[in-house]
Chains A and B, each alone.
Chain A
Amino acid sequence: MASGFEFDWSAAFGSVPYLLKGIPYTLLISFGGLLIGFLIGIFMGLASLSRNRLLRWPATAYIEIFRGTPILVQVLFIFYGLPDIVGGPINALTAGIAAIALNSGAYISEVVRGGVQSIDKGQTEAGVSLGLSRSQTFWSVVWPQALRRMIPPLGNQAIVSIKDTSLFSVIGVGELVRQGQIYIATTFTAFEVYFMVALLYLAITLTLSFLLRFAERRGLASS
């Protein structure tokens, strides 16, 4: 009996329509969170490069805190901990998006910092020598080049964050893993269902990898 396991194809395929219902949540949390995380990352990344300590220090603190603590703890803190302070429950979906935003934001800050720092000082010198202001030089000369270099690490972060959303099954968001768990609870076909869950994650991340490689090639073609 122990070695008599047979892959139950009907259970695997049967779970798919159910699992697919989780994908919108997975995508919404991932990309909603990443979009906000990107904005946070631009702001905090640039603040961490600032000569002004009042910008640099809080940015550095934020980055260290959210990179240095597990995202699972962060989402539990937001979902179960914060309501004590804000005085009302926090929607699980909101908590998930917030956790991805804050967590990816910390990593993206570092991507932004590295991208900007990788641009040769001569570019800034050429810009200001032409009479452009510091901010004109930054936004029209340095930033577009930095952004292009940031594509691969940003893609990497997107893939990490998509997978991180699987942890949010613990706060009851009906994302992919959660849908799988609910299905397994009635069918007891863990192997088949988690196998399909894994395949669906892979489908999302491979699609993203492909799109990013395409974007990167187009970016390189013009530089």
Chain B
Amino acid sequence: MEKIVRMQRLNKYFGDHHVLKDIDLEVQSGEVVVIIGASGSGKSTLIRCVNGLEEYESGELVVDQQPLEPKGGNQKSLAAIRKEVGMVFQQFNLFPHLTVKENIMLAPMKVKSTDKSAAADIAMKLLDRVGIANQAEKYPTQLSGGQQQRVAIARALAMEPRLMLFDEPTSALDPEMIGEVLDVMRELAKEGMTMMVVTHEMGFAREVADRVIYIHGGQIVEEGKPEAVFDNPQNERTQSFLSRVLKH
């Protein structure tokens, strides 16, 4: 199987703070990797390194066959990597000055020079897929949080990415809207999308993940199939984390 992401001994600092410590991680094509851990553990930083939103200090990172060098190194591959890697953010980050449809059309038109009517077709198809084609002409702020996040997913998909990064996609949502976003993500996984998901939704992780990674203090302390990690965690840190988050 083809490797989409390969990290080796990756280290990342924020000033003196050592955020990621010797991370070794591989993601295969078609795999859904869910990263769990307490806030501040470095899980968001980890996936933000994959598309270069965070620079790292040392180690090796290859995304879709293209090496992305550490801080100060050659960043030429960054543009190519970002075309292949979609990202969904906790705060949606939709463009408020554009309609829902225009949000989705922007990148294909600017980056791939897709013409306007073709981009509009892509947008409508994707909106249909995430179940909100009827909201196409509205502005993002006129939509509910769950709808906005579904637009954000559609926007990322418009670039036909080979890998999707999800950075706590449901953490800013009201509880009743979490389901609709997870449903879209579940569909995406079923269709074979390669995904790296940072989330606190343990039910989703258990059901959808091919592999769960528990990260603590910037290190991967446990990794395996969801049943193994959730039902029979080996590391005591994982045990205590899970006992805290699964209790309620």
The answer to the question of B198 belonging to the interface, with a C-beta cut-off of 8 Å to chain A, is no
Stretch at the interface among B10-18, B21-29, B78-86, B186-194: B78-86
- Rounded to whole angstroms, the CA-CA distance of A130 and B155 in the bound complex is 8
Which of B89, B96, B107 makes the CB contact (< 8 A) with A125? B89
Interface string of B81-109 (1 = CB under 8 A from A): 01101110101011111000000001100
- Rounded to whole angstroms, the CA-CA distance of A123 and B83 in the bound complex is 17
Q: Which residue of A lies closest to B80 (CB)?
A: A131
Residue pair B97, A130 in contact (C-beta under 8 Å): no
Residue pair B110, A136 in contact (C-beta under 8 Å): yes
The 4 closest A-B pairs by CB, nearest first: A126-B93, A130-B107, A131-B83, A122-B93
The answer to the question of B147 belonging to the interface, with a C-beta cut-off of 8 Å to chain A, is no
Q: B170 CB to closest chain A CB, in angstroms?
A: 16
Contacting residues, chain B, for A122 (C-beta < 8 A): 89, 91, 93
Q: List 14 A-B contacts (CB under 8 A).
A: A120-B91, A122-B89, A122-B93, A123-B93, A126-B93, A127-B95, A129-B51, A130-B156, A130-B159, A131-B82, A131-B111, A132-B107, A145-B95, A145-B96
Residue pair A129, B97 in contact (C-beta under 8 Å): no
Band of interface residues on A: 20 to 34
Interface string of B121-159 (1 = CB under 8 A from A): 000000000000000000101000000000010011001
Among B18-54, those with CB < 8 Å from A are: 51, 53
Residue pair B107, A131 in contact (C-beta under 8 Å): yes
Residue pair A223, B82 in contact (C-beta under 8 Å): no
Q: Which residue of B lies closest to A145 (CB)?
A: B97
Q: A120-B93, A126-B152, A130-B106 are in contact. List 9 more A-B contacts (CB 8 A).
A: A125-B53, A125-B89, A125-B93, A126-B89, A130-B107, A144-B97, A145-B96, A145-B97, A223-B139
Contacting residues, chain B, for A117 (C-beta < 8 A): none
The answer to the question of A36 belonging to the interface, with a C-beta cut-off of 8 Å to chain B, is no
- Rounded to whole angstroms, the CA-CA distance of A145 and B98 in the bound complex is 10
Q: A143 CB to closest chain B CB, in angstroms?
A: 10
- Rounded to whole angstroms, the CA-CA distance of A223 and B79 in the bound complex is 29
Contacting residues, chain A, for B91 (C-beta < 8 A): 120, 122
Residue pair B97, A222 in contact (C-beta under 8 Å): yes
Contacting residues, chain B, for A120 (C-beta < 8 A): 91, 93
